[in-house]
Chains A and B, each alone.
Chain A
Amino acid sequence: DTEVTQTPKHLVMGMTNKKSLKCEQHMGHRAMYWYKQKAKKPPELMFVYSYEKLSINESVPSRFSPECPNSSLLNLHLHALQPEDSALYLCASSQGRAFEAFFGQGTRLTVV
């Protein structure tokens, strides 16, 4: 199983809403990632969890709050987002540093 599963696939939320994106992998990977991708652009790294601890935060605004409840799950909690936060949010996992990352299908987020 080389699958990373993301839910939901699509999400529309208002600027005052609170929502969460979920990501799951069962490959035994110990590193999990959140990326943000705008149209026609490469993915931009947001957060990295290694062994369930936050390893990298790429200066992401606090309205994005990651959580890693266990080694298979990764959440991204969203609160008070802005329209410019509309994007494809991709989750990925890997065995560790310098290993290939496996990506989920993404959540298409629209903030209205």
Chain B
Amino acid sequence: KAGVTQTPRYLIKTRGQQVTLSCSPISGHRSVSWYQQTPGQGLQFLFEYFSETQRNKGNFPGRFSGRQFSNSRSEMNVSTLELGDSALYLCASSLAGERDTQYFGPGTRLTVL
């Protein structure tokens, strides 16, 4: 079975721009979660989608948004980028989310200049 894939792997943007990251879960997995990893804050939960609905949300501003498609693929969008948004963005998929093992993708490294 193919693992979780994320595109693009690396991205450089400037302040004020917006960005869209994509995540394809493991086949059959219906839950996709997004995390932000920075040296200062560590790994922080952004949101979780299950069956095209946002089921959980972390403490991030409204500039961070996401969606999930009927094939379980997910995208996250960050608008009006700030320098502090530079991070590794990881997505994880699981069968149903609750109490299931989450499998992580390789991440998208976003640099905001």
Do the two shown chains form a genuine complex with each other? Answer: no
The interface of chain A, by Cβ under 8 A from chain B, is none
